Chains A and B, each alone.
Chain A
């Protein structure tokens, strides 16, 4: 065992070290593998073609989220021309290998990073991987979780391990109190704007500090979700009573005596006093404002009302972004008319997100000509929202109310927003053509999306509250 003070990530990592190879790389045990139909199906197919079997199917879970349609009454048919093949192939492979599948009509179905915490699949101290870049979302539970490729997923299927070198540690400490109406999404965009899209390259980020501890579990997931937009290798938050309480009674979480034993072990999951991180950053939560992106990288973010950098046209990547997004350097994006508003994705589609958006929409109408869509992150979130009448608020305001899935967080060749549509979106990526051919995506919190949908332009909640 390693001597001296340890980081949280090192504690978890060393508990999973099967062996160190001659090359210096390590064989690391993987506790949970999650798959979805877009990248998981091909991993399973490739495994079969190589004549291999799944080593521990009970620890592998699959869901339908990326390609499945989100229209009411959906079936295996998809707007994406060849989407059905992905769904059918993943389903058949999962069945053949005894993998637990949350299929289209399963009440547990939904976006992988929403479903896994809901079911208690991610646990503190666990290592969970998934061929999806936003897997780091689940580090919010004090486990290590990161995105992998399909070949690595195949490696985990066959060996329940990965061969890796341990990534270096970075601590991002955020103390202080977030202002009124400032959310975890705004905090995430604030950090990305400050550190850059390459700011955490290859590091496991530990989010720490009083502002992080003050976040509820769903907000912690939002924060960790966006960490991948800084090129991190993973993100983690030390678990606490909020974490343990949130997981209590979830189907795959420990129960009874084993739960007590687990919690005792989980309480040791924190970075030791005096431990040295490869990189440290500190932020003051009080300085964070409601944020919105203006360009084509999540790092192109600024407080709502602040101008697009006046010198943007002198920088190659920003110049391209300014042209693509049709924004004006020196002028804010706030006030720009929008064509569409989207609430959904693994970043902001949980029940708390829908509640906060609905509170703004209640008794108001979406501006004429704005296509507004709400896609709950899971079938369970949808059911919970309907039980408290949130769907009626969304529908009466003029939002579409969809079945759970990734939906138009990205464009897969089927449904999309109109070419060059300006979209305010609670999602995580504003890349070129991300939500449809040449769409212009502005990332923001669900609150800002709701307020903008009503105003018909990019707007602060306070602007419509009057």
Chain B
């Protein structure tokens, strides 16, 4: 995973509430048993003029020239609700987004972001709207993970994120690798627990 420490980019406003994972990557766009090849299907229902088509809808914010190369996406509350499909995050990442800022996230989506190097940053709605207002002027937004700040011009928006999540993003850590360092403790737990709850442990 590529570490995410600081980043400066425009922030694309897509301030709808309840943007679900079907909208982020429609099921029909998940064509292979793979994490790749999904960027083209990102927001397919909104980006293109017809379902299943590839004709660009110029009114959709992602298709506006100001959005080109942006690494920050702004969303409404309960962002990433719906299906648990991680493809939504893989599509966002492959398209180039490293940060999503929203008033709240669906828990599964939030977890998926962290495991794929995307920072899900929670800011109050007013702050998200203030950042969105800077989009048209091309005002760059800075994400500072170590200091837990989003900055735009003179404005500073502090955010909080669980230490575990923040560390994983900053270090670009592989969670499985980190956990497997505790393999002995894990197997020890299972050995003790099997005596207490034998009905859980089936024969491997």
Q: Mark A residues whose CB is within 8 Å of B.
A: 15, 18-19, 21, 23-25, 27, 29, 31, 38-39, 41-42, 45-46, 50, 52, 56-59, 80-82, 85-86, 89-90, 98, 123, 125-126, 131-133, 135, 146-152, 154-155, 158-161, 163, 165, 167, 197-198, 201-202, 229, 231-233, 252-254, 258-259, 261-262, 265, 296-297, 316-317, 320, 410-413, 419, 429, 431-434, 437-438
Binary per-residue interface labels of chain B (78-110) against chain A in the complex, 1 for a CB within 8 Å, 0 otherwise = 100111111101000000000000001011100
**CB atoms of B186 and A161 under 8 A apart:** yes
Confirm or deny: B172 has a beta carbon within 8 angstroms of a beta carbon on chain A: no
Contact of A133 among B34, B84, B104, B204 (CB under 8 A): B84
Mask of B33-49 contacts with A, CB within 8 angstroms, 1/0? 11100000000010000
17 A-B contact pairs sorted by A residue (CB < 8 Å):
A15-B197, A18-B189, A21-B164, A42-B86, A58-B204, A82-B32, A148-B111, A149-B84, A152-B112, A155-B179, A163-B164, A163-B178, A258-B198, A320-B16, A413-B30, A433-B45, A437-B52
Given A159-B186, A161-B186 in contact, is the A133-B163 Cβ separation under 8 Å? no
B33 and A85 form a contact (CB under 8 A): yes
Q: Which of B26, B86, B87, B186 has its CB near the most chain A CB atoms (within 10 A)?
A: B86
Q: Name the B residues within 8 Å of A50 (CB-CB).
A: 176
Binds A, one of B17-25, B67-75, B150-158: B17-25
Q: Which 3 A-B pairs have the closest CB atoms?
A: A413-B28, A254-B199, A25-B164
Complexed CA–CA distance, A363 and B25 (Å): 43
Q: Residue B116 at the A interface, CB < 8 A?
A: yes
CA distance A31 to B199 in the complex (A): 10
A23, B176: Cβ atoms closer than 8 Å: no
Structural contact, B107 and A167, CB atoms closer than 8 A: yes
Residues on A with beta carbons closer than 8 Å to the beta carbon of B112: 149, 151-152
- Seed contacts A25-B163, A159-B180; 14 additional CB < 8 Å A-B pairs: A23-B167, A27-B179, A38-B85, A39-B87, A46-B35, A85-B32, A86-B33, A123-B199, A133-B108, A146-B108, A152-B112, A161-B179, A198-B78, A433-B51
Please name the residue on chain A nearest to B106 by beta carbon: A231
Task: Give the shortest distance, in Å, between A58 (CB) and chain B (any CB).
Answer: 4
A466 CA / B21 CA spacing, docked (Å): 42
Q: Give chain B nearest CB distance to A193 CB in angstroms.
A: 14
Contacts of B193 in A (CB 8 A): 15, 29
**Interface residue tally on B, bucketed by range:** 35 or more
A151 contacts B186, C-beta separation under 8 Å = no
Give the docked Cα–Cα distance between A159 and B26 (Å): 31
B116 touches A160 (CB 8 A): no
User: Contacts A18-B182, A25-B163 known; A197 to B81 CB distance under 8 Å?
Assistant: yes
Decide: B186 and A147 in contact? CB cutoff 8 A: no
Cβ A201 vs Cβ B16 within 8 A: no
Does any Cβ of A come within 8 Å of B137's Cβ?
no
Question: Measured between alpha carbons, how far is A80 from B78 in the docked complex, in Å?
Answer: 29
Q: Among A25, A31, A412, point to the contact of B28 (Cβ < 8 A).
A: A412
* A261 contacts B198, C-beta separation under 8 Å: yes
**Could you tell me if B84 and A158 are in contact, using CB atoms closer than 8 angstroms?**
no
Provided the pairs A201-B107, A317-B17 are in contact, do residues A25 and B179 lie with their beta carbons within 8 angstroms? no
Q: Are A19 and B185 in contact (CB under 8 A)?
A: yes
Given the complex, which residues of B lie within 8 Å of A159, measured CB to CB?
176, 179-180, 183, 186
B33/A89 in contact, CB under 8 A: yes
Q: Which of the residues A155, A232, A317 comes within 8 Å of B18, measured between beta carbons? A: A317
Task: Give the residue name and chain of the B residue nearest to A160 (CB).
Answer: B186
The 8 A CB mask of B114-127 against A (1 = contact, 0 = none) is: 01100000000000
A89's nearest neighbour on chain B, judged by CB, is B33
Chain A residues, CB < 8 A from B16:
316-317, 320
What distance in Å separates the Cβ of B115 from its nearest Cβ neighbour in chain A?
4
Decide: A411 and B27 in contact? CB cutoff 8 A.
yes
Assess whether A165 is in contact with B162, with CB atoms less than 8 Å apart: yes
What residues of B have a CB within 8 angstroms of the CB of A149 in the complex?
Answer: 84-86, 89, 108, 111-112, 115
Chain A residues within 8 Å of B28, by CB: 80, 411-413
**Quick one: which of A25, A41, A410 contacts B22, CB cutoff 8 A?**
A410
Determine if B82 and A429 form an interchain contact, defined as CB atoms under 8 angstroms apart: yes
Task: Tell me how far the C-beta of A170 lies from the nearest C-beta in chain B, rounded to whole angstroms.
Answer: 13
> Residue among A42, A46, A59, A262 with the most chain B CB within 10 A?
A42
Distance between Cα atoms of A36 and B50 in the complex (Å) = 30
* Docked-complex contact A197 and B186, CB < 8 angstroms: no
Q: Provided the pairs A149-B84, A155-B175 are in contact, do residues A42 and B35 lie with their beta carbons within 8 angstroms?
A: yes
Q: How far is the CA of A45 from the CA of B77 in the complex (A)?
A: 33
